Amino acid sequence: SSVTSVMERETVAMGQMKTDVTKGPKCRRGSRMCRDGTQCVLFSHVCDGERDCGDGSDEDGCGSSLCISPGEFQCSHGKMCIPEAQVCDGRPQCWDQSDEIDCRRPTMTCEFHCADGSRCIPKKFVCDGERDCPDGTDEFGCETVSCFPAEFQCAHGNRCIPRGQVCDGKNDCQDRSDELDCQSLPEGCHHLCDNKARCIPETFLCDGERDCADGSDEEKCGLVACESHQYRCASGQCVSEGLRCDGYPDCSDHSDEEDCARPPRCPAQLRCPNSHECLQREWLCDGEDDCEDGSDEKVKPRKKRQTWTEVGWCDHHCVSTPEGPRCSCAAGFRLHSNALSCVDVDECNEMPPSLCKHICMNTPGSYVCYCYPNFYLEPDDMSCKTKGDEPLLLASVQSELWLLGVHSGSLTLLSSVNRPVFSLDYHWARQRVYWLSPDYQSIRWADMKKSSSRGTLIKGVKSDSIAVDWIGQNLYWVDGLVGQILVVKLSDITARSQSYAVALGEDLEQPSSLILLPHLGLMLWSEIGSTPQIERSGMDGSKREVVVSRDLSWPVSLAYDFLDNRVYWADEKLRCIGSTSLDGDDIKILQLAETPNPFSVAVFNDRVFWSDTKRRTIRSADKNTGKDQKVLLKRPGQPFGLRVMHELSQPAFSSPCNQLHCSHLCLLAPALRPKSGTAGDQGTTAVCRCPKGMLLNPDKAAC
């Protein structure tokens, strides 16, 4: 029955292992077997006042616990202690919900009741400039406070702090006004420059890049020590030795392409015939002489004709040689083995993948580049650009959320919080950004169009990564501590702690990063435990399989390329970015010698983006070659989470959940019978799922 299947799934989530009659039952580390031998239960669930074993043996012989530690509250059933801070917080932690009873009685942590009755907060949270009540009543009717002479008034006018906390490098005002216009050097500020208008950290000094307009950060540097595998540019900058004389300048002064003993590897039609410089395709016939003899500006249209040699008719040209007349072919063709005919060269398959950024179509003697739908071809006839809005890079730099224009370089501060932000995501249709704050153990959100509209989705979350399902209207997160992937429904109000469900909770050792492919009903996650690997399954936990199990060491971040249908990862220990198809085939590695600590990765169009916590930069490069690296953002704080925001990254699809009418949660899953067509047309199915502590009715819709 459906009830039995749900109970079986919950049993597996608690750690049930297969029973071998000869060897006896076994439980995972951190669990013990119930008395009837049918299932395992976590030690943390033993004597917690809630029956987890079917026979109730996890609550036998427990007696009545006595909470004697200061700051603890004893549940009425007498078998569980919780921190007093969790009493009357609007979320029952006790099985009998006794921690949420009689909450009108003031306590040390409960002095103000929100008007909607959902929370009770300390008095110091009232009129402090930050909304702690879901209905915002803790900030209603607040007047500007008067501060004593020895105090500093925050710019929002609702808080006074001691003057000794001003310009101490810590944000004590919610609006950070106590750290503005400071003459002292706060944390992360080591060198003042540009007439004291800018301050940069020590790691920016003598790194080969001018960060101060006056150039003082690169003065008196001497020679920076390059590693054995690196080449020193004339400017003192260090680049990978493999980039020397490769036909593309990687030093800021282009010195890595000077005095090269051999011509770089270069397609014949892009190499100057006499001086051997390697050109970019867009340099041909651009009105400027890039070859020493100007031959790049002397290309003339050819006309097909046949000429005669002593061995027969030539398809294209006949040239005189010391051995006599020989046939030759025009550009885009090669001589056949019969020494007479010319056959077309398939540039799309034989040239580098960067020849066309999207789609390459071979033509006789040449090729034509095309773009995917919703992109248009740029004037260079090889690159593609999005139609409509500019893609935005959503990035967290320490505790700040920034929006960076990928093309324009425009920079907008979206939000500033009090704690570092390690993981984030967005919902394009709702124009809403979600982020994870580990210190607060909560997932929060803010509207991009209305900065004052913000809230908390769920609290009590210990997570490493979050991901938004914009089709099923859910949010997933990874709990690496207990080894689970959890899911909660998107909402404008704070969800109760029991509102989430376990999407996958079996045999996850140390999951790290998570991405969703809702249009395929798939999710992928990385493992950074004893066996580093990348796995995938349906978003309901079904059809689980390993995608990548080699060439990995510490895959800390995942990203999805919707154009090429590939998954990318950043490996912090191997200092590289890898990619593969969704089946684990065709693995490609981009080695990043200049990136010591890649933390997060994102992909859009023909570029790959990543954050480097050691260099404190956000960079981009060609996703196929790793070349053409650019520094997009460099700030004193450490950059962490990255997402590229654009409507093409979250295309609109009809949700199968609309047909199910689930009472609580609806999870997407891969289609049972894949249809013909592109990846986005394969379709999905869905299943109803219940929060913890509830079972699915036989109708498979209501809990």
**pLDDT tens for each residue of 51-85:** 778 888 887 877 655 676 777 888 776 667 887 77
Q: What is the pLDDT of residue 18?
A: 36
DSSP 177-220: GGGSS-SS--TT--EEETTTTEEE-GGGTTSSS--STT-GGGSS
CA distance 185 to 178: 14
Quick one: pLDDT band at residue 4, thresholds 50, 70, 90? very low
Which of 124-128, 499-503, 634-638 is predicted least confidently?
124-128
Q: What is the pLDDT of residue 670?
A: 93
Structure tokens at 376: 């248009």
Structure tokens at 415: 């939000």
Coil/strand/helix, residue 526: strand
In the predicted model, is pLDDT for residue 261 greater than 80?
no
Q: What is the pLDDT of residue 615?
A: 86
CA distance 429 to 490: 13
Which of 79-83, 426-430, 522-526 is predicted least confidently?
79-83
Which of 228-242, 572-586, 629-643 is predicted least confidently?
228-242
In the predicted model, is pLDDT for residue 358 greater than 70?
yes
Question: Is-contact 328 335, C-beta < 8 A?
Answer: yes
CA distance 289 to 296: 7
Q: What is the mean pLDDT of residues 474-501?
A: 89
- The residue among 576 and 19 whose pLDDT is bigger is 576
In the predicted model, is pLDDT for residue 303 greater than 70?
no
Write a three-state SS string for 598-660: EEEEEEECCEEEEEECCCCEEEEEECCCCCCCEEEEECCCCEEEEEEECHHHCCCCCCCHHHH
Q: What is the pLDDT of residue 469?
A: 97
In the predicted model, is pLDDT for residue 322 greater than 70?
no
Q: What is the mean pLDDT of residues 327-349?
A: 89
Which of 182-196, 484-498, 547-561, 645-659 is predicted least confidently?
182-196
CA distance 69 to 75: 14
Structure tokens at 669: 């899953």
Q: What is the pLDDT of residue 263?
A: 55
Reported residue count of the chain is 703
Of all residues in the chain, the percent with pLDDT exceeding 70 is 76
Q: What is the pLDDT of residue 118?
A: 63
Span 373-400, pLDDT tens digits: 888 888 788 889 887 788 999 999 988 8
Neighbouring C-beta atoms of residue 130, cutoff 10 Å: 16
Q: What is the pLDDT of residue 52?
A: 77
Read off the pTM.
Answer: 0.59
Question: Is-contact 494 459, C-beta < 8 A?
Answer: yes
Quick one: pLDDT band at residue 102, thresholds 50, 70, 90? low
Q: What is the mean pLDDT of residues 539-563?
A: 93
Q: How many CA atoms lie within 13 A of 372 on its CB side?
A: 13
Quick one: pLDDT band at residue 96, thresholds 50, 70, 90? low
In the predicted model, is pLDDT for residue 25 greater than 80?
no
Of all residues in the chain, the percent with pLDDT exceeding 90 is 27
Coil/strand/helix, residue 23: coil
Question: Is-contact 123 111, C-beta < 8 A?
Answer: yes
Structure tokens at 692: 């913890």
Coil/strand/helix, residue 165: helix
Which structural domains are found in the chain, ordered by start? 109-140 (4.10.400), 347-384 (2.10.25), 390-649 (2.120.10.30)
CA distance 501 to 498: 8
Quick one: pLDDT band at residue 675, thresholds 50, 70, 90? very low
- The residue among 277 and 541 whose pLDDT is bigger is 541
In the predicted model, is pLDDT for residue 539 greater than 90?
yes
Q: What is the pLDDT of residue 187?
A: 58
Angle at 524 between CA 702 and CA 404, to 5 degrees: 105
In the predicted model, is pLDDT for residue 11 greater than 50?
no
Q: What is the pLDDT of residue 297?
A: 52
- The residue among 223 and 623 whose pLDDT is bigger is 623
Quick one: pLDDT band at residue 235, thresholds 50, 70, 90? confident
Q: What is the pLDDT of residue 12?
A: 38
Most confident stretch, 252-261, 311-320, 433-442, 597-606: 597-606
Phi and psi, residue 499, nearest 5°: -80, -10
Q: What is the mean pLDDT of residues 659-683?
A: 69
Dihedral, CA of residue 544, residue 547, residue 549 and residue 554, to nearest 10:
-100
Q: What is the pLDDT of residue 423?
A: 92
DSSP 407-457: TT--EEEEEE-SS---EEEEETTTTEEEEEETTTTEEEEEESS-TT-EEEE
CA distance 239 to 8: 56
CA distance 140 to 126: 9
Dihedral, CA of residue 599, residue 602, residue 606 and residue 607, to nearest 10:
-40
In the predicted model, is pLDDT for residue 446 greater than 50?
yes
CA distance 461 to 436: 9
CA distance 371 to 382: 9
Q: What is the pLDDT of residue 431?
A: 93
Which of 7-11, 331-335, 379-383, 591-595 is predicted least confidently?
7-11
In the predicted model, is pLDDT for residue 104 greater than 70?
no
In the predicted model, is pLDDT for residue 656 greater than 80?
yes
Q: What is the mean pLDDT of the chain?
A: 79
In the predicted model, is pLDDT for residue 427 greater than 80?
yes
Quick one: pLDDT band at residue 582, thresholds 50, 70, 90? very high
Helices H / strands E in the chain, number of each: 3, 48
Q: Residue 590 pairs with which residues in a beta bridge?
A: 577
Q: How many CA atoms lie within 13 A of 271 on its CB side?
A: 13
Quick one: pLDDT band at residue 646, thresholds 50, 70, 90? very high
Structure tokens at 507: 């045999």
In the predicted model, is pLDDT for residue 549 greater than 70?
yes
In the predicted model, is pLDDT for residue 526 greater than 70?
yes
Among residues 689, 684, 685, 683, the alpha carbon closest in space to that of 701 is found at 689
Q: Residue 502 pairs with which residues in a beta bridge?
A: 486
Q: Residue 36 pairs with which residues in a beta bridge?
A: none
Which of 234-243, 296-305, 426-435, 544-553 is predicted least confidently?
296-305
Q: Which amino acid is at 130?
A: E
Q: What is the pLDDT of residue 24?
A: 44
Q: Residue 41 pairs with which residues in a beta bridge?
A: 32
Query: 569: part of which helix (H) or strand (E)?
Result: strand 566-571
Phi and psi, residue 634, nearest 5°: -145, 110
Q: Where are the beta strands (DSSP E) in 295-410?
A: 307-309, 312-314, 317-321, 324-328, 333-335, 342-344, 359-363, 366-370, 375-377, 384-386, 392-397, 400-405
